[in-house]
Amino acid sequence: MIDLPDDDLLRYYGARAPEYESIYDRSERQADLSALRRHVAGWAEGRRVLEIACGTGYWTEVMAGVARSVLATDAVEDVLAIAWRRGLPSPRVEFRRADAFALEGVPRRFDALFAGFWISHVAREDLSAHLQSLESRLESGGRLLLLDNRYVPGSSTPVSRRTGSGDTFQRRRLAAGGEYEIRKNFLTEGELRQFVGPRARRVEYREWPHYWAISWVRG
């Protein structure tokens, strides 16, 4: 049993679970998604990957074919239930419930850490410390890959609010009903390089019209 905060983000992703993957059906994003899948698969090849906030396992499946192993974690039972149904090869690929802010219960060490569309939900003021805590799950020389959205007018949900610390929020409606206000930061390359910090080695940033990806080696 994990002890989770009573959090709007968790409630939102629980309610969104059955409709989550429609985000990957958007026609204007297909070319970028193909490129991104190749990028992720190339990065994961032969590695022992810890995946944070794996959701329904879309990127887990991309890595499953090439990685040595993947332990994919998420805090929300309803998204993990969908991920489990993918039938990915066990025990090489495993899903486990875990809070990204409390990974101490994840015992093994890994040589790679992946998080897709996760850090946009983390408050800017917490981001450097959060990235350091993720890095601590890795052996020295381990690699990290993060990817997330760029803001594209007409495709992205409009920003509804901005706080003094620069965090932005969106109001999101679900097909099943209900509206949620969710933190969603659109980080620039310069901001990402700052959050990753001077300790990182071999920092590489890539972008496509709808997405960015940043990778580095733990210093």
Ligand X SMILES: C[S@@+](CC[C@H](N)C(=O)[O-])C[C@H]1O[C@@H](n2cnc3c(N)ncnc32)[C@H](O)[C@@H]1O
- Which residues contact ligand X by CB under 6 A? 9-10, 13, 53-55, 58-59, 74-76, 79, 99-101, 116-118
Residue 78 exposure: Cα atoms within 13 Å on the Cβ side: 11
Instruction: Name the minimum Å distance from CB 140 to ligand X.
Output: 25
Instruction: Name the minimum Å distance from CB 73 to ligand X.
Output: 7
- Which lies closer to ligand X via its Cβ, residue 125 or residue 219? 125
Instruction: Name the minimum Å distance from CB 59 to ligand X.
Output: 5
Helical pair 8-16 and 77-84, crossing angle rounded to 10 deg: 30
- Which lies closer to ligand X via its Cβ, residue 176 or residue 199? 176
Instruction: Name the minimum Å distance from CB 168 to ligand X.
Output: 15
Give CA–CA dist 87/91, Å, rounded: 11
E strands of 104-210, at which residues? 110-116, 138-149, 159-162, 168-173, 179-183, 201-207
Q: What is the DSSP letter of 157?
A: P
Q: Edge-to-edge strand order for the sheet containing 138-149?
A: 93-97, 69-74, 48-52, 110-116, 138-149, 211-217, 201-207
Q: Which residue is nearest to ligand X (CB)?
A: 55
Q: Residues with Cβ < 8 Å from 27, sequence gap 6 or more? A: none
- Which lies closer to ligand X via its Cβ, residue 66 or residue 103? 103
Instruction: Name the minimum Å distance from CB 29 to ligand X.
Output: 13
